[in-house]
Structure 1
Amino acid sequence: MSSESTPLLNGNGSHSHSDATFFQRVKTLIAAEEEPSWTQSYRFFIFGSYLNLFLLFVPLSVIAHKLNWDAALRFSFSFIAIIPLAKLLGEATEQMSAKLGQTLAGLLNASFGNAVEIIVGIAALLQGELRIVQTSMLGSILSNLLLVLGCSFLAAGFKFKESNFQVTAAQASSSLMTLACITLVIPAAYHSTILANMASDGAKNKLPLLFNTEPVDIDQSGLLVISRGTALLLLGVYVAYLCFQLKTHSYLFETEEPVAEAPRMSVVAAGVALLATTVVTSFCADYLVASIEETAERYSIPKPFIGLILLPIVANAAEHVTSVWMAMKGQMELTIGICVGSSIQIATFVVPLLVIVGWIAGHELSLFFANFEVNLFSFVLDGKSNYMEGLMLITLYLVIALAFWVT
């Protein structure tokens, strides 16, 4: 056997041929036999799901925005249009991952796993909707950990009396999630300390801060330094977590996955589809964010409710369906991976990324969340689940939604 083919068959990943192996793998993927044609690829991509019927709302969203229709129509059309686009982003990513191997597939999923959240977040950030950015990111985490996980546990509970999953990997993920939550508490603690000091100074001058009716002007420089420094550190931790998950301790995350189906799209066609869908999604996200302010004012919908509840639901709709479906098939490790993995990506990758993008673009986005929001984080995994745990998680999510409707 020639030396050129050896690296492709070398299971121990010889370091001396690592570069050759990578380029040979890419070349092999592109030139693979029986790879779907472009026609077959895009026929599957466009007509492979009934959910794609909602793509009709993409041109409606554009028309409504250009003709300046009622804010509710602009918001609704863009809102619905993003649902199938999120599904297509996930489908294109999955089709590319199917033939890239574990490491490359893991990196691809890490990059595009929350593409909709990133696109919506950047669109809101560039339009100065910092509150929407913060609440939508927090809402995405809570949606995955409470609503999606709860629905998955509840759905699995209808078929199985009790479901089990790999607790070691779940605990490792939980630890990282706890770290991310703590980093959100620190800016809030700093903010509370500043307020306490200002209240103390006000008392000395017989002007108690609690009775002031004017807005309190707090220096944001300290919060920005803490937030931007924390964002850089979290990104470093996220890279280390990817190495932990994909390389050094990958055995902790091994699951008994169902037999993989043959790819329905070629790698190149899936890549082109991924880029095109990302561009279309960015326009719909921009239209959606642009209509939030007017919709909230005209129809008396609290903006925090829109950011915390509505946007995460539409951004994660396809992901939610997949998680529940896997739970009903008894694939709880995959369900936990979808819910917890997505939350970790948002907390340690997407949120820090948006803070840095805001830093570059001149928008003062910080990691300061109101104390009420920080205290909402709840995450407990013991390796077992049943329908009652799912019901409790869903109930907690609904209570949070109700609280933000009246906050």
Structure 2
Amino acid sequence: MKKWISPALLAITFILSAVAHYANWDHTLQFILSSIAVVFVAGFLGRATESVAHYAGQRLGGFLNATFGNAAELIIAFFLVKEGLFDMVKASLTGSIIGNLLLVLGLSIFAGGLKFKVQNFNVTLAGLNGSLMIVAIIALFVPAMFFNTHSITDEDTKLLSLIVAGILIVSYMAWLSFSMITHKKYLEDVTDKKDEVLPNEHAPVWSRNRSILYLILATVMVAFVSEWLVGTLETLTERFGFSELFVGAFLVAIIGNAAEHSAAILLAMKNKMGAAVEIAVGSSLQIALFVAPVLIFASYFMGNTMDIVFTTIELVAIAVAVFIAKSITQDGATNWYEGLLLLVVYLILGVSFYLV
């Protein structure tokens, strides 16, 4: 369970990042140190989340993994909104969605498939996840269509964005109620249910209260290192000629996804593909249906409303990721080659975004 994240390394990377920021070192060095710190802090956050999830149960545990796995991304995006870097915010949201659906899910399926010939999970849950992602695409596509065809004004676009954001949040709350309360047993994963009767050789080393304390501490640390990281991005894009789209969609997204990468892959290698899919796909759903809308409202209360209009490139990337992920997971069974296909699509998008 992320044994590579020792308290000593965590403290060293965090302190170095803090010194670099407050001593105003070179911005490139600040970015590197802050990125390393985010990876370690996010990993520690993931470890604390897994420990809390152990006491919370399978379904709630998967939700907690997805939620706190997104904490780094949400906090980074919040500071980007605060700085008014809306294009980079949307790029980072795009990167989070495609990163979870293609990179995290792809690596999980590939790694698990190398160890187990075929891995199965709840086919009904896979179908519902796919339908929810299609709803998210519709919610992103409609405002962009009306705006780009000049059917509505800028102010109307912002109003539409707030309304759509509110609808998505309500939809996500309804999904949580459906999946965790009214239809909890209906969506249980068979393999995970069988594993629950076996002795848990990977029991958490921390007590419930200590796990919660570490979860809060890690979230606070993520807030600090995220702010330091965001402060270096504008200089980084100018110095190396990177586009905001590439930085937001790939660099920031990969760094912010560090906790989910390791958690989902380790679960897949233990033949718990249902839990791995829950983290990867569940995290994408949370980004699209909750995190993005929350950022819309956050920008509104800051006095400068960010619209929900994504670029054509971003919409195509998200649609492609949803299409291939839904196609591969809809039968409730995966193998290593399907994981490789997801990674191939991610590489294609990555190269394309770099050249923009």
Q: Give the structure-2-normalised TM-score.
A: 0.89
CA RMSD of aligned residues (A): 2.1
Shift, 1:103, TM fit: 7.6
Shift, 1:54, TM fit: 4.8
Instruction: State the partner residue of 1:176.
Output: 132
Instruction: State the partner residue of 2:82.
Output: 126
Equivalent of 2:175 in 237, 241, 248:
241
Residue 49 (str. 1) matches residue 3 (str. 2): yes
Instruction: State the partner residue of 2:55.
Output: 99
Q: What secondary structure, in the 3-state scheme, does the structure 1 residue paired with 2:149 have?
A: helix
Shift, 1:400, TM fit: 0.7
- Alpha carbons 2:75, 2:222 under 8 Å: kept: yes
Shift, 1:92, TM fit: 2.1
Shift, 1:241, TM fit: 0.5
Greater mean deviation of Cα atoms: 100-109 or 179-188: 100-109
Instruction: State the partner residue of 1:135.
Output: 91
Instruction: State the partner residue of 2:162.
Output: 228
Shift, 1:253, TM fit: 2.6
Residue 112 (str. 1) matches residue 68 (str. 2): yes
Instruction: State the partner residue of 1:80.
Output: 36
- Alpha carbons 1:54, 1:80 under 8 Å: kept: no
Shift, 1:91, TM fit: 2.2
Greater mean deviation of Cα atoms: 235-244 or 88-97: 88-97
Instruction: State the partner residue of 2:334.
Output: 385
- Alpha carbons 2:65, 2:260 under 8 Å: kept: no
Instruction: Write the mapping of 1:54-73 to structure 2, written as runs, cut at 5 A.
Output: 54-73=10-29
Distance of 1:294 and 1:101 partners within structure 2: 44
| 1:269-307 Cα deviation digits (max 9, x unpaired) | 223222222222111111100100001111222221111
Distance of 2:169 and 2:135 partners within structure 1: 12
| 1:202-227 Cα deviation digits (max 9, x unpaired) | xxxxxxxxxxxxxxxx9421211111
Q: What secondary structure, in the 3-state scheme, does the structure 2 residue paired with 1:51 have?
A: coil
Alpha-carbon distance change, 320 to 272 in structure 1, aligned in 2, over 3 angstroms: same
Q: 5+ unaligned residues in a row in structure 2: which ranges?
A: none
Shift, 1:137, TM fit: 1.0
Residue type matched to 1:386 in 2? N
Distance of 1:272 and 1:385 partners within structure 2: 37
Q: What percent of counterpart residues are identical?
A: 37
Residue 341 (str. 1) matches residue 341 (str. 2): no
Shift, 1:160, TM fit: 3.0
Alpha-carbon distance change, 153 to 108 in structure 1, aligned in 2, over 3 angstroms: closer
- Alpha carbons 2:297, 2:305 under 8 Å: kept: no
Distance of 1:63 and 1:253 partners within structure 2: 47
Distance of 2:186 and 2:285 partners within structure 1: 17
Distance of 1:344 and 1:359 partners within structure 2: 22
Instruction: State the partner residue of 1:37.
Output: none
Instruction: Write the mapping of 1:11-26 to structure 2, written as runs, cut at 5 A.
Output: none
Distance of 1:96 and 1:228 partners within structure 2: 34
Instruction: State the partner residue of 2:345.
Output: 396
Q: Higher RCO, 1 or 2 (CA under 8 Å, sep at least 6)?
A: 2
Equivalent of 2:255 in 314, 320, 325:
314
Alpha-carbon distance change, 112 to 322 in structure 1, aligned in 2, over 3 angstroms: closer
Q: 5+ unaligned residues in a row in structure 1: which ranges?
A: 1-43, 198-217
The structure with the largest alpha-carbon Rg is 1
Q: What secondary structure, in the 3-state scheme, does the structure 2 residue paired with 1:99 have?
A: helix
Instruction: State the partner residue of 1:90.
Output: 46
Residue 250 (str. 1) matches residue 184 (str. 2): yes
Shift, 1:109, TM fit: 4.9
Distance of 1:100 and 1:158 partners within structure 2: 30
- Alpha carbons 1:102, 1:246 under 8 Å: kept: no
Greater mean deviation of Cα atoms: 74-83 or 371-380: 371-380
More helix as a share of residues? 2
Instruction: State the partner residue of 1:270.
Output: 211
Instruction: State the partner residue of 1:305.
Output: 246
Distance of 2:137 and 2:69 partners within structure 1: 20
- Alpha carbons 1:166, 1:383 under 8 Å: kept: yes
Tell me the matched-pair count: 339
Alpha-carbon distance change, 97 to 342 in structure 1, aligned in 2, over 3 angstroms: same
Residue 160 (str. 1) matches residue 95 (str. 2): no
- Alpha carbons 1:122, 1:354 under 8 Å: kept: yes
Greater mean deviation of Cα atoms: 259-268 or 323-332: 259-268
- Alpha carbons 1:55, 1:84 under 8 Å: kept: no
Alpha-carbon distance change, 172 to 103 in structure 1, aligned in 2, over 3 angstroms: closer
Distance of 1:375 and 1:329 partners within structure 2: 34
Residue 286 (str. 1) matches residue 217 (str. 2): no
- Alpha carbons 1:184, 1:367 under 8 Å: kept: yes
Alpha-carbon distance change, 302 to 323 in structure 1, aligned in 2, over 3 angstroms: same
